[in-house]
Chain A
Amino acid sequence: MDFSQNYFEIFQLSVSFDLDTEDLSKRYRSLQSRLHPDKFVDATDHEKRLSLQWATRVNAAYQIISSDLSRAIYLLELKGVLIQENPKLPKNFLIEQIERREELDKILEDGCSMELLAAFKGEIDKCTADYLAEFSEIYLTNLRDAEIVVYKLQFFNKLSLQVNKIEDKILGY
C-alpha cells in the first residue's frame, strides 16, 4: 500500500478542484467493492489487516475530496498552505457575518418559523456557491486570495451548521 499517494491519486484522478462527483463516487464504490474487509473474510490475517487499512484510507480520502470545502482546504494543504485557527479577514466581511448572525437571532426570537429559516439557508447556500466558484477560478494562480476565500467559506459553513442545530431543536432533538 502506497501511503505517499495523495487523496486524488488514490482514485486515479488528477489533482483539481473541479471534480465530477458522480465519477468520483463510481470510483469510490468500485474500489471499496474490491478492498472492503467483507471481501476478505476468508483471507489470511495479514490480508485482513491490509484490507482494513486500504478501506479506511479510501473512506478518509473520499470524505475529504467529495465535499467542496474540505477539498478546497486539502488542495491548499497540498500546496503547503495550512489553514489558520484565527485568520485576519476584511472588516466588511466580518460586519456582514455579524449582521447575518443577528438576522438568525431575530428569526429565533420571532418564533422561529421553518419558512424564514429555509429562506435564510437558501441565502447561505447561494453565497457558498459563489465563493466556491471564486475559489475554483483563482486557487491555481492566487494562493493568498484562495486562502481568504476558504476562511469565508468556513464562516458560511458554520452558519449552515447552526441552522441545522436550530432545526434539530425544532424537530425535538
Chain B
Amino acid sequence: MALLQITEPGQRVDPHQRKVAAGIDLGTTNSLIASVRDGIAQTLPDSQGQHLLPSVVQFKEKSTLVGQSALDSAEEDPLNTILSVKRMMGRGIDDIERLGERLPYDFANTENGMVKINTVAGDKSPIEISSEILKELVGRAHRSFSGHLDGVVITVPAYFDDAQRQATRDAARLAGLTVLRLLNEPTAAAVAYGLDSGYEGLVAVYDLGGGTFDISILRLTRGVFEVVATGGNSALGGDDFDKCIAEWIITESGYKQDLSPRQLRSLILKARALKELLSDNDVADVDVSIDGLYFLGQLTRNHMNELVANLITDSMNACRRVLRDADETEISNVVMVGGSTRMHAVRQAVTDFFGVEPLVNIDPDQVIAIGAAEQANILVGNKPQDEMLLLDVLPLSLGIETMGGLAEKIIQRNTSIPISKSQEYTTYKDGQTAMLFHVVQGERELVSDCRSLASFELRGIPAMVAGAARIEVTFQVDADGLLSVSARELTTGINTSVMIKPSYGLSELEISDMLRASIDFAEDDVKVRSLAEARVEAMSLIDALELALGQDGDRLLQPDDLASLEEGISILRKVSRTNDINAINDEVRTLSVTSEKFAALRMDSAVRSAFSGLHIDQLQED
C-alpha cells in the first residue's frame, strides 16, 4: 500500500502546482485581461504599459494589427479596420440591418446569411476577428508569466443568447484557449466587489458598456452569487450615446450629403471625445472639420443630457422590468460597470431609481476583468477551500418552431442553469424516419420575432405508422448557458442522432478546418499530435484522480478498491511513457471505468455534507 501523503488542509498534493489562469473582458469598445498574482487580481498591461486594449482589428495583406495601432488607422482604412465586432457575434446580416446600424464595412455575401466582412486579407467572420483580439490579450499573459496559461474565464453580457455565447467560445478555441467558463459580465463585477467585503444582500449591477446594456439582480449569500434575474438591451450602449451626439453635430453643421465611411468614423470619434470631456466639465468646445463637414460651437453637459435622455430612459425601463422579474424591490447596493457610467446623467438616474448611491470605487472599465480573474483563479483550482459559487440563469427563453411559425417555449427565461427539459414529439406520416427542428431563443410568440439559433435533424427514427413513434427530445443547457440536444425513440429505445447546424455560427467542421489551416501540419505530425493528445488526456485523468484520492480516497474507499485504483494509475502512467497511442487510450478507458464507483461515492458524500453543513449552521443560529 502506498504511503500516506500528508499535506496541509486545502493545499494541493504534488504534482499539482499553482496554475496560471486569467480573466478576459472581451468588450465592445475595449478589452482587458487580468490575473491573480500574489493574491491580488490585476489587469495586465501591454509592452507600452497600456491596460485597455481597444477592441479593434485591422487586416492588412500580410499582417494583422490589433488595438490602438489598429484604431489609429481606422480613419485611413475604414473597410479593413473592424470596430465593435462584439455587436456582430452570433448574428446574421438581417439582424444587423434590423438594428439600423450604419456600419462602414463591405459585407461579403454568404449563403446562410452569416456575417462576413470582406477585407484585403479575405472574408473574415466575427468569430475570427474576435479571436485576433483574444490572441493579443493572451500575448500579454504569456509575457507576464513567461509561459503557459492553464485556462481562462471569458465574460459575456448576461443578455447574450446561445448563438452569441457559442460564437465567443468558438473565438476562444480558434485562439487556442482553454475556456474554464463563460461568465456573465455583471456577475463578474459583483465578484470583484463582493469577494472582499463578504457582503450579503441584493445587488443590482448596472452595466452600460460600449455596445450593450445589462441590468442584473444578484443575491449574495454566504459566498454564493445567485443571479436572480437579468435583463437589458443588447443594442444599447455608449456607442449609441456617441451616435446621438454625432447626429446633433450633423444637424448643427447643416451638412446634407450622405457621410462617407471615413467621415462617419471621424465624427463618431469626435463625439466620443466630447462625451468624455463632459464627464469632467460643464461645457466643451466643438470643433469639427471633416471633408466638407464643418461645425464650430459649444455643447453643454445639460444639452448633451437632453440629447441622450431617451437612451437613459430606455435603460431605466429595463431596470423596472428586471426588478419585477426578480420580484424584489429592496436593492441594497448598485455596482456600476462600463465607461459610460462615468456620465453624470447616468449616475444620477441610477441613484434616483434605486434610491442608493452606486458603488464606483473600482475602475468601471476594469471591474469585469478583475472579477473574471478572481473566478478563473478559483476554477483552475488555486483556492480549493473557497466556497464561492456562481449560480446563473438562462437569459432568454428557449423554444422550438411549431406549426404556423409559432415558437413553443421549452425552457423559460430566468430558469437557473444547468437545466434540462424533455419534450415528446411524434411523426405525422407513415414510415417517417427523420424530423427537422428549428430552435429559437426569445420571448415573442412568432418565430420570426425570435432569434434563430440552430436547426437540427433527427435521423434514424424507426419506421412506424404516423403518430406511433414517441420521440423524446432532451434540451440540456449547461453552466455556460450553452445548449445541446439529444433524442430517443421511447417505444424502441433507439437513440436518434442529432445534427445541429448553427444559424449564424461556424459548424464544428468549419472550426476544425480553421484550426487545421492555422497549424498546417504534415502526415507525420498527425501522429505526433495524436500521441501528444492521448498523453494529455492520460495525465489529466491521473491528475484528477490523484487529487480526488488525496481528498477522499481513504475516507470513502475500501482498501481493495483504493489499491485497484492506485494500480490503474500506475499502469496508465507507465503506458503513457510509451509511444503506443492505442494502449494509452485503452488504459484511459479502463481506468475511467474503474473510477466510476469512486465518483459516485464522492457525489453521495458531497450531498451528505451539504446537509450536515446546514445543520451546523442552524445550530449556530439558534
Is A37 within 8 A of B603, CB to CB? no
* Residue numbers in A under 8 Å from B318 (CB-CB): 171
CB-contact partner of B544 in A30, A36, A47, A167, under 8 A: A47
Query: Which parts of A119-173 form the interface with B (CB within 8 Å)?
Result: 164, 167-168, 171-173
What mask results when residues 600 to 622 of chain B are scored 1 for a CB within 8 Å of chain A, else 0?
A: 10110011011101100100000
Supposing A47-B602, A171-B317 touch, asked if A52 and B478 sit within 8 A by C-beta, the answer is: yes
Q: In whole Å, how far is B567's beta carbon from the nearest beta carbon of chain A?
A: 17
Measured in the bound complex, the distance between the Cα atoms of B613 and A168 in whole Å is 42
Asked whether B595 is an interface residue with its Cβ less than 8 Å from the other chain, the reply is yes
Interface residues on A, range: 35 or more
Is B419 within 8 A of A59, CB to CB? yes
Where chain B touches its partner, the secondary structure class is helix
Which B residue sits closest to A57, measured CB to CB? Answer: B420
Q: In whole Å, how far is A43's beta carbon from the nearest beta carbon of chain B?
A: 5
Is B314 within 8 A of A172, CB to CB? yes
Q: In whole Å, how far is A63's beta carbon from the nearest beta carbon of chain B?
A: 6
Is A33 within 8 A of B387, CB to CB? yes
Is B321 within 8 A of A35, CB to CB? no
Query: Which parts of A32-76 form the interface with B (CB within 8 Å)?
Result: 32-39, 41-47, 50-52, 54-56, 59-60, 62-63
CB-contact partner of B379 in A33, A34, A38, A63, under 8 A: A38
Query: Which parts of B415-438 form the interface with A (CB within 8 Å)?
Result: 415-420
Measured in the bound complex, the distance between the Cα atoms of B548 and A33 in whole Å is 17
CB-contact partner of A26 in B151, B548, B617, under 8 A: B617
Asked whether A101 is an interface residue with its Cβ less than 8 Å from the other chain, the reply is no
Measured in the bound complex, the distance between the Cα atoms of B262 and A99 in whole Å is 61
Give the number of residues in B that approach A within 8 Å (Cβ atoms).
53
Supposing A26-B617, A29-B222, A44-B595 touch, asked if A35 and B548 sit within 8 A by C-beta, the answer is: no
Is B479 within 8 A of A55, CB to CB? yes
Is B226 within 8 A of A56, CB to CB? no
Which A residue sits closest to B231, measured CB to CB? Answer: A173
* Residue numbers in A under 8 Å from B548 (CB-CB): 43-44, 47
Is B544 within 8 A of A44, CB to CB? yes
Is A42 within 8 A of B479, CB to CB? no
Is A33 within 8 A of B224, CB to CB? yes
Asked whether A27 is an interface residue with its Cβ less than 8 Å from the other chain, the reply is yes
Asked whether A16 is an interface residue with its Cβ less than 8 Å from the other chain, the reply is no
Q: In whole Å, how far is B164's beta carbon from the nearest beta carbon of chain A?
A: 19
Residues of A within 8 A of B (CB): 1, 12, 26-27, 29-39, 41-47, 50-52, 54-56, 59-60, 62-63, 164, 167-168, 171-173
Residues of B within 8 A of A (CB): 151, 180-181, 221-224, 226, 314, 317-318, 320-321, 324, 378-381, 387, 389-391, 415-420, 443, 476, 478-479, 541, 543-545, 547-548, 592, 595-596, 599-600, 602-603, 606-607, 609-611, 613-614, 617
